[in-house]
A = this chain, B = another copy of it.
Amino acid sequence: MRRPVDAVNAHYPEVVLSTRDRLIDAAARLLDQGGPAAVTLREVGRLAGVSHNAPYKHFADKEDLLAAVAARELARPPRPARRGSGSPAEALSQMMHGYVDWAMRHPARFKLTFGSWSVDSAELGAAATAARTALVAAVSAAQASRDLPQGDPERLAALIQATTHGAVDLALSGHLARSGKGHADPKDLVDDLLGYLSS
């Protein structure tokens, strides 16, 4: 008979994580496998090797647990572009392509992270601010090298993020127009925008 600890070790053979971290991991894994409907506190607890209401000792409720998952994801995707990989414009393009790749690979995490939050988690707000700051810096650099038009870099960053986010969201929900031949790719739309902005 398998004991709870076996379920844990099957996934984390070498590493010992706190119960809180194991709960977040379990929720993220269930999200990837079966979408939001698959994330039940009972299954989260079972995967983490605890009872179905142990999560209430670490999170206020289910939404609070999901906010922790979103905060962890938000701190991850907008990784700064590799250095020496080209012009500031190319670095910006790669940054947005990375965002698209992450979102298309983990649609449920993407939808969760950019969903509506009634709880205002400080962790979630700080992660969002950090991600935005990195984007504004990349936009400013591209403006300095004359690859983007001048003007408020925050506003231009918001335009680029809106286009990228919208292209991904429409693609994931199947509402993106098949343009001519072949399926339209969110990356193509992002590059279209950057091309129009640089000319």
Contacts and interface: CB of A to CB of B under 8 A. Distances in A.
Copies of this chain in its oligomeric complex: 2
Prevailing SS type, chain A contact patch:
helix
A117 interface: yes
Given A164-B166, A165-B166, A166-B161, A173 B132 contact: no
Contacts of A197: 196
A77 interface: no
Interface stretch (A4-12, A15-23, A78-86, A147-155): A147-155
B170 A161 contact: yes
Contacts of A163: 159, 162-163, 166, 193
Interface string A84-115: 00000000000000000000000100010011
A177 interface: yes
A128 interface: yes
Contact of A173 (B114, B173, B178): B114
Q: Which 6 A-B pairs have the closest CB atoms?
A: A166-B166, A162-B166, A165-B166, A162-B167, A155-B179, A163-B163
